[in-house]
Amino acid sequence: MRHHQKGLYIVEFALVAALFFVLLFAVIEFARALFVWNTLTEATRRGARLAVVCPVGHASIANVTVFNAPAAAGASSILPGLDSSDVVTDYLDQTGAVTAVFNDIRYVRVSIVGFTHTLLIPALLPGLPAMTLTAPAFATTLPRESLGAVPDGAGSTQCP
């Protein structure tokens, strides 16, 4: 009787191992998604913190937001798919409406819009179609500070 069950252990192992690895990859993918979520939150915080002290519309705001050097536009070195073109900086008045009048600016909002996260599980498991998740708009709003104005009487501005 024992002779007929010779391959049973291999079949059981294959079933359990397949389930185990699918569960393992799902946990890893969930951890990656949390990393992306946290990185996008931190990116908007960095951008807003710089935007409240830089001149209105300064180019380095978007670059620093995506973890690049102030003069280095383009793709983020930390998060694939994140680009300085995904960053939107809005200057808001007291009511929260977008304004272009310097003296009316009370808040600065930095947002990341249109970011898509590509899942790795379809690449690891043959036969599954490629999947991407579009992230919601991440935004951070802070009260304005100097907006680049330096109180030296010469009207100069300063920003990294």
In a domain, 148, yes or no: no
Question: What six digits make up the tokens of 139?
Answer: 């935004």
65, 41 contact by CB (below 8 A): no
Output the pLDDT for position 95.
95
Output the pLDDT for position 128.
75
How many structural domains compose the chain?
Answer: 1
In a domain, 111, yes or no: yes
In a domain, 160, yes or no: no
- Summarised one tens digit per residue, pLDDT across range 109-118 is 999 998 998 8
What residues in the chain have per-residue pLDDT under 70? 1-5, 122-125, 150-158
Output the pLDDT for position 108.
97
pTM of the model: 0.81
Output the pLDDT for position 152.
62
In a domain, 151, yes or no: no
Output the pLDDT for position 40.
96
Q: Distance between CA atoms of 104 and 27, rounded to whole angstroms?
A: 48
Q: Distance between CA atoms of 96 and 142, rounded to whole angstroms?
A: 11
Q: Distance between CA atoms of 48 and 58, rounded to whole angstroms?
A: 12
Output the pLDDT for position 138.
95
Output the pLDDT for position 96.
93
For residue 74, give its domain range: 7-143
Output the pLDDT for position 157.
60
**DSSP class of residue 94?**
T
Dihedral over Cα of 30, 35, 38, 41: its sign: negative
Output the pLDDT for position 123.
67
User: In one letter, which amino acid is 148?
Assistant: G
Q: Distance between CA atoms of 53 and 37, rounded to whole angstroms?
A: 25
